[in-house]
Amino acid sequence: MPLSRFGRTLLNWLLVGPLIAGLLTAPTTPADTWTVEAPAGGPVATVHLDAQGSPSVAVSRGGATVLNPSPLGVTTEQADLTTGLSLTGRSSRAVVEKYSTTAGKRLHRLSVMKETRFRFTRGDSELDLVVRAARDGVAYRYELPGAGAVLGEASAFAVPAGSTAWLARHRADYENPFIQYADVPPAEYQMPTLFGVGQNYLLLAESALNGAYTGPRLVRDQDTYRIALWDARVPYDHGLATPWRVMVTGDLATVTESTLVDDLAPGSRVADTSWIKPGKVLWSWLADGRSAQQSLKRQKEFVDYASQHRWPYVLVDAGWYDDPDTGERAWTDRTPEFTWMPELVEYGKARGVGIMAWLRFSDFDTHDKRVQRFGLLRQWGVQGVKLDFIDSEAQERLQWYDETLRDLADNHLMVNFHGSSVPKGINRTWPHVMTMEGVHGAEKSSNLTTSHLAALPYTRNQIGSMDYTPMAFQRAGRPTSDAHELALSVVFESGLANLAGSLEAYRARPEAERFLDQVPTVWDETRLLSGRPADHTVMARRSGDRWFIGAGVSGAARTLQVPVGFLPGRWLVEVTRDGAGGLVREAHVVRGSTLAVEVGAEGGFAAIACRWRPGLTTCAR
């Protein structure tokens, strides 16, 4: 596997790793302040224990402050571990991991971090603070021994004054829009969230959340963003490792391209991933609504279209298992008596199209129900499920995720979570999680703006696959031009790309069909070429030897100067953009420098780049 851009620096760092580890465990001055440094050019975490025994962490990069000293610690039923602490141990190590994923910004990853463990005590109580620093950020978590219950955290983020913020108000399903603030009002906000701090950006996120703990929200409180927990009491029996509190930092490209949230998550719990196959999904809900989900005839038409265009999946949404006599949803042991799902699965299989099915999570709230019902879906040949209306990050609901993911894997069912949390390294641990909603997406009929869309690549979609459901060309109220909407197939990343257009809307846009038939949903490499949160995005993603570029702007028409110097030699770039009569395609032969593309108000473009050779006129295959 080829190393990424920091490969040479990384090699040098690994060679001197033992020396660095020795220095970090040596005495420092002053005795109550310690640093954890990332590989060369990365951020520095500074841990401080004040005179009252209260710990804090600050983050800097290149000598510039990214995060002011921010409080640390937890309160348990046994002890207040936010103050009165003493340092009784400290050790350091390098953490180097190579792993692969089934979805995301790139399939093959190399993670290199410096880790320092600080052991604090207060009386008979212990608290380990584990801090990691990587070239693209800093993270920490707490570890507690034995049994007990967490009652709260002191954890907060003291973002420097004057920072620009891109925040979304907190709600259970993470479906509020991201808004740019110069002065953030007191409120509760969701993670992730992004700040512009001087020349750096700072993304606050979380990794490795599971049923051992509970979900967070950020409370704007004077000069900090304080972590508040979903549950007032979080019990644990055999020790506890909390989720990682993640601070991704660097220039905007570093933050956007970072996989630190995944890097911190536990490794895969699924040994055989050969059955996990990402791809495009033809989704009919926004096109035809519930009536289409209840019609075998109509779903066969969607299968026919998917087969013609070689899209691998069709998703049948809410309503397919409604009782035809009463109209009420009915998942019972008699479901096979009236559903046509097995017939549709066989129809799709004969045409090379897999079927996925929407389900209400509450119909799968026990292990016995999951064993019976997931087993039945597998018996029919369903390839994956969309589980909806989860709407909680309480510890009990997170335990449901853990148990459900095991049962799904046992039945070789991919999953798309809706009305859900957001990905926090979940795809690395459970690689059959292809995407999650947790976004103010295309289903919203109001308050959907291009400024929100231009914030998503740097916020919600930064942390993992996002089921925004683009391509609803038929919706008159959408804020995007046709070319901007088409570009979202590249700008937004999702292992299962649920595309929401009507068959009629696709057929009326042959250039959109041509592009969508080629664009993949998994990537070997991702680069941010140009961007500004809430203003515009130009994203490039590589699949094999071709690059796909998507661009969208918020606001006025402009000329986008697209850097193409990352393409070595001469390349053919096919650009699909808005024309006077609809989408048009133009071919450009480029060599280094930039490519100028005119875009209209709220517009954009989608492009494919391939190596040029004499006589080559198209990148299509």
Dihedral sign computed on CA atoms, order 257, 258, 261, 264? positive
| Cα–Cα distance for residue pair 227/191, rounded to 1 Å | 10
Q: Answer for the pair 414, 397: CB distance below 8 angstroms, yes or no.
A: no
Structure tokens of 435? 């995407």
User: Are residues 220 and 193 in contact, defined by beta-carbon separation less than 8 angstroms?
Assistant: no
Which two tokens mark 304?
A: 């026919």
User: Which residue bears the tokens 């402050």?
Assistant: 65
Judged on CB neighbours under 10 Å (0-12, 13-18, 19+), 8 is exposed
Structure tokens at 142: 């707490």
Long-range contacts of 443-449 (CB under 8 A, 24+ apart): 443/285, 443/286, 443/469, 444/175, 445/477, 447/177, 448/177, 448/477, 448/478, 448/479, 449/177, 449/479, 449/554
Q: Of 401, 471, 478, whose CA–CA distance to 438 is shortest?
A: 401
- Alpha-carbon distances of 209 from 214, 216, 421, rounded to whole Å: 7, 10, 10
CA 100-102-105 angle, to 5 degrees, is 80
Note every long-range contact of 580-586, with CB atoms under 8 Å and residues 24 or more positions apart, other chains counting: 582/482, 582/509, 582/511, 583/482, 583/483, 583/486, 583/509, 583/511, 583/512, 584/511, 585/511, 585/514
Residues 6+ apart with CB under 8 A from 478: 442, 448, 472, 485
Would you list the DSSP string of 536-602? EEEEEEEETTEEEEEEEESSS-EEEEEE-TTS-S-EEEEEEEEETTEEEEEEEEE-SSEEEEEE-TT
Q: Which of 175, 257, 288, 443 is catalytic?
A: 443
Q: Which residues contact 494 (CB under 8 A, 6 or more apart)?
A: 103, 434, 435, 465, 466, 467, 468, 521
Q: Are 130 and 120 in contact (CB under 8 A)?
A: no
Please check whether residue 433 is in contact with residue 268, taking contact to mean a CB–CB distance below 8 angstroms: no
- Name the active-site residue from 206, 231, 388, 437: 388
- Which residues in 225-262 are b (16+ Cβ under 10 Å) and which e? bbbbbbbeebebeeebbbbbbbbbbbebebbbbbbbbb
- What are residue 234's phi and psi, to 5 degrees? -120, 100
C-alpha–C-alpha distance, residues 86 and 54, integer Å: 9
Strand partners, 536: 532, 553
> Could you confirm whether 410 is annotated as catalytic?
no
> Is 328 one of the annotated active-site residues of the chain?
no
User: Dihedral of CA 604/311/508/467: which sign?
Assistant: negative
Which string of DSSP letters, residue by residue, matches 34-83? EEEE-STTS-EEEEEE-TTS-EEEEEEETTEEEEEEEE--EEESS-EETS
Residues labelled catalytic: 388, 443
